[in-house]
Amino acid sequence: MTRSDAALKLRGGAEYGIDLEAPGMVHAVLVPAPVAAGALRSVDLAAARRAPGVVAAIGPADLAALLPHGGDPDRPVFPSTRILYRNQPVAAVAAETLAEARAAARLVRVDVEATPPLVDIEDRYPDWPTGLASDAPGVVAHVHARHGNLDAAFASAEFVHREVYRTSGIEHVALEPHACLAEVRDGHWRVRTTTQTPFGAREDAAEILGIPAESLEVEGTWVGGGFGSKGAAFLEPYALVLAAASGRPVRLAFGYRDEFFQGRSTLPAVIRLETSVRDGTITGRRVRLLLDTGSSLPGRDFATGYAIGFLLGPYRIPAFEVEGYAIQTNKPPFGPHRAPFAPQCVFAIDSHTDGLARRLGVDPVEFRLRHVWQAGDRTAFGQEVGPFGAIAGLERARTTVAEWRRTLPPGTGIGVGVGFWSTSTGAGGEVRLRLTPAELVIEQAEHEIGSGSIVRGLVAVAERLFGLPTERLRVVTTSTARDPYDSGVFGSRTVAALGRAIEAAGTAMLARLAERAKAKGTATLTVQDGKLAVGIGARSIPLSELLSAEELRDGLVVEGRHYGRSGAIDPSRVVEGSFYAYTDFTAAVHVAAVTVDRETGSVKVLRYAAFQDVGTTIDAGMFRGQVEGGVVMGLGSALTEETLWDPDGRMRNPGLLDYRIPTIAEVPEIEAVAIEGFPGAGPFGMKGLGEPPIIPVPAAVANAVADATGARVLELPLTPERVARALMVD
């Protein structure tokens, strides 16, 4: 694998958010709300404004004068009435030095009439809320769907397997904290920032600020890890209003503790599952989901309907009813975390499925093979399943399980987890190809976030499309002012969606060159005498003969776009709320081998195998990187990572000492195997790989623990204490 950014990063030359500087730059600090809930009475900035070095100190009352249209009333930059979570920014200060800004921020007096916060959703809803109206206080979203005759399925069942699973909040822990540098000059708003979505951040920030998107320019930097944390606007609106207030370039950068305090990640949930079985076959399922959505606002919940899909697949279920509520709590808003909420749902559903098989006395892999989707099946929502590698993955897993049973010591627990995903190409992407006799340049909007999808993935697609060597291909990103539109690096879509846009542009470009050469047949690009040439059949024509003088200077420019399409769900199955259709069907079948210390509850993962349905492998090195990274991150969610909250809404573990990501000492040997031949939404039938490898990890580990001990742990993460407690109950 050739990573064009490797040398730059190793030498420390890559510019990240925190490295941004500008002449005359000042430093910003946000003023946090002192309590998690309450009525905001006043924000007194007088002392802060008089403090040394301060160039601007602004609060809720200053927004109207700074924002021409007052900003988004639903999402004000600073709250003016109600505090929604502890540390919610209520004001901001900019000063000549960071120390001065911090000192001044401490002088801001925030007067709040505190009210008891809601921190744990089960405090409000200890039982399943029946007949709760969708617009009841604190309900941010309600989704409800059903199909088939569930009552009959339950009535005729041999048994109904009932369980309640609980999952914890987790954080992204990207190496690089958020940081940006904002400037406002002559009505031109500009922010340089570490973002997964330059255009998404622009649209979101412009909406919050109430300015036209065209008057805001977002320029990305290298991104030191995203995992969903750097999607929508976050720090940018604060820095921009401070820049407007001060007339100076403003740097706003989070420390690591701020990353925890401001969250915007996965939050806890309660998942109730009831599955009916007859003749060894699943006949029906009732699912109920209570999702803590933090201080998300109504209409801004994206997770509930989406999550429920994971609780109904990837298995055939003839009759079902699902109902989910997103409940507002006094925590930072819920936000996307690598495969948002899918690992948690799959932990619940695939633990449940594994337990069902064991209860029936059927091998868990065989039981899954009996039920798992294959092409032509229908999802719970009636969508036809496309090419899907789950059966192929399960067959590989069966072989692995058998081999490990023979070779690993007695007492080892072996578990399988099955996850699925869909490449999110539905969101649009565009590229601009620029061809000169020297090289082919791919101009597009996204910055490399670490996975390699931009610096390597797009190049690998272009290599394969055009047959050009790596050194003749270059990916260029500037800012939203010049780059073609793209919707962002998320949903495992980047290489698939932008790759299809490259394919569209490339096809058009080659057709145009063939036309200019007045040739019949397909044009290709080749290198001849050190320059690019067009090959048609046996002929090879130097590019210089086919380009105009202007094109020889600026390049032949051809744009391409890809706005993918999802399949359709059957609307008759939806009672209320939004559910999602898929663009393709990506399977992830994982196998974990563990030992469990029955006295302390400690779990050690000995071996791990991941069978990933990729359609086509675009780059073997990137494949391995994404699978290993996803598995390691998933092991953290499975075993040690959770956010802890005090009843007053204070986060108890805002740092890496007590928020425990895996160290290399906990990482086992990981076997990463590509399952090919089940094409997906990307070029050459590739499927997105950023998220699928994290999805089945907690399930595979939990099923291995159950295999080793006979005890089922119903809550993530499987800390030694939880495992020990489950073993005591048994």
Distance of CA 693 to the CA centre of its chain: 12
Report the nearest approach of another protein to the CB of residue 590 (Å).
21
Please say which residue, 391 or 711, places its beta carbon nearer to another protein. Answer: 711
Question: x/- site string to another protein, residues 626 to 645, per CB under 8 A?
Answer: -------------xx---x-
Specify the stretch interacting with another protein by CB under 8 A; choose among 113-121, 438-446, 545-553, 661-669.
661-669
How far apart are the C-alpha atoms of 373 and 321, rounded to whole Å? 19
Stretch that binds another protein, among 55-63, 273-281, 370-378, 651-659 (CB under 8 A): 651-659
CA distances from 10 to 251, 346, 619, 621, 624 (A): 25, 37, 21, 18, 20
The burial of 92, by beta-carbon neighbours within 10 Å (0-12 exposed, 13-18 middle, 19 or more buried), is given as: buried
**Closest distance between another protein and the C-beta of residue 698, in Å?**
16
Q: Which amino acid makes up residue 345?
A: C
**CB of residue 704 vs another protein: minimum separation in angstroms?**
17
Kindly state the smallest distance separating residue 633's Cβ from another protein, in Å: 14
Residue 365: how many other CB atoms lie within 10 Å: 22
Please select the residue that binds another protein; options are 662, 683, 693, 698, rule is CB under 8 A.
Answer: 662
| CA dihedral (455, 456, 462, 466) positive or negative | positive
* Antiparallel, parallel or unpaired: β 82-83 and 531-536: unpaired
Size of the site for another protein (CB under 8 A): 23
The nearest distance, CB 605 to another protein, in angstroms, is 11
By CB under 8 A, what part of segment 74-103 binds another protein? 99
Q: Which is nearer to another protein, 177 or 615 (CB)?
A: 177
Of 323, 326, 324, 251, the C-alpha closest to 295 is 326
Q: Which residue number, 596 or 724, has a Cβ lying nearer to another protein?
A: 724
Give bridge partners of residue 419 from the DSSP assignment.
Answer: 588
Binds another protein (CB under 8 A): choice among 39, 402, 663, 677: 663
- The footprint of another protein on residues 476-535 (CB under 8 A) is none
Stretch that binds another protein, among 131-139, 222-230, 470-478, 654-662 (CB under 8 A): 654-662
Residue from 5, 96, 666, 671 that binds another protein (CB under 8 A)? 666
- Of 9 and 725, which has the nearer Cβ to another protein? 725
Q: Is 669 in the site for another protein (CB under 8 A)?
A: no
Q: Which amino acid is at 58?
A: I
Alpha carbon distance 207, 442 (integer Å): 30
Instruction: Give residues 526-565 in contact with another protein (rule: CB under 8 A).
Output: none
Render 688-711 in DSSP notation, one character per residue.
--SSGGGTTHHHHHHHHHHHHHS-
Residues paired with residue 42 on neighbouring β-strands, in sequence order: 111
Q: Which residues of 661-684 are buried (b: 16+ CB within 10 A; e: fewer)?
A: bbeeebebebebbbbbebbbbbbb
> Residue 664: which region, alpha, beta or left (left: phi > 0; alpha: psi -120 to 50)?
alpha
Closest contact distance (angstroms) between CB of 257 and another protein is 9
Please identify, among the stretches 2-10, 18-26, 649-657, 670-678, the one whose residues bind another protein according to the rule CB under 8 A.
Answer: 649-657
Ranges within 694-723 binding another protein (CB under 8 A): 719-721
What whole-number distance in Å separates Cα of residue 680 and Cα of residue 617? Answer: 12
Count of Cβ atoms closer than 10 Å to residue 566 Cβ: 16
State which residue, 547 or 603, has the beta carbon closest to another protein.
Answer: 603
Q: Which stretch binds another protein (CB under 8 A): 77-85, 126-134, 137-145, 659-667?
A: 659-667
Q: Closest separation between CB of residue 721 and another protein, Å?
A: 5
Query: What minimum distance in Å lies between the beta carbon of 653 and another protein?
Result: 6
Contact 443, 432 (CB under 8 A): yes
C-alpha–C-alpha distance, residues 266 and 166, integer Å = 13
Cβ atoms of 587 and 375 within 8 Å: the answer is no
**Of 109-117, 555-563, 663-671, 699-707, which segment contacts another protein by CB under 8 A?**
663-671
Q: Is 658 in the site for another protein (CB under 8 A)?
A: yes
Stretch that binds another protein, among 173-181, 206-214, 660-668, 708-716 (CB under 8 A): 660-668
Peptide bond before 410: cis, by omega within 30 degrees of 0?
no
Establish if 665 lies at the interface with another protein (CB under 8 A): yes
**Phi (first) and psi of residue 382, to 5 degrees:** 85, 5
Q: Which is nearer to another protein, 259 or 448 (CB)?
A: 259
Rounded to a whole number of angstroms, the minimum distance from the CB of residue 724 to another protein is 6
The two structure tokens encoding residue 135: 């617009």
Distance CA 17, CA 220 (A): 8
Among 2, 478, 660, 668, binds another protein (CB under 8 A): 660
**Smallest distance, Å, CB 254 to another protein?**
15
Supply the minimum distance, in Å, between the C-beta of residue 718 and another protein. Answer: 10
Nearer to another protein by Cβ, of 42 and 600: the residue is 600
DSSP 3-state assignment of 118? coil
Shortest spacing between CB 97 and another protein, in angstroms: 12
* Smallest separation (angstroms) from another protein to the CB of 35: 19
**H helix intervals, 224-285:** 236-246, 256-262
Q: Which is nearer to another protein, 538 or 664 (CB)?
A: 664
- Distance separating alpha carbons of residues 105 and 201, to the nearest angstrom: 26
Cβ distance to another protein smaller for residue 581 or 661: 661
Nearer to another protein, 255 or 299 (CB): 255
Q: How far is the CB of 671 from another protein (least distance, A)?
A: 22
Rounded CA gap, 28 and 92, in Å? Answer: 7
Q: Are 433 and 512 in contact (CB under 8 A)?
A: no
d(CA 260, CA 273): 31
Of 133 and 664, nearer to another protein (C-beta) is 664
Q: Which is nearer to another protein, 403 or 666 (CB)?
A: 666
Q: How far is the CB of 339 from another protein (least distance, A)?
A: 23
Nearest CA to 218 out of 477, 490, 407 is that of 477
Q: Which of residues 448 and 642 has its CB atom nearest to another protein in the complex?
A: 642
- β-pairing, 54-58 vs 89-95, is antiparallel
Give, as ranges, the residues between 566 and 625 that touch another protein (CB under 8 A).
599-600, 602, 604
Task: Kindly state the smallest distance separating residue 719's Cβ from another protein, in Å.
Answer: 5
Q: What is the DSSP letter of 674?
A: E
Residue 539's SS3 state is strand
Other Cβ atoms less than 10 A from the Cβ of 707: the count is 21
Residues of this chain that interact with another protein (CB under 8 A) are 99, 599-600, 602, 604, 639-640, 644, 652-653, 657-658, 660, 662-666, 719-721, 724-725
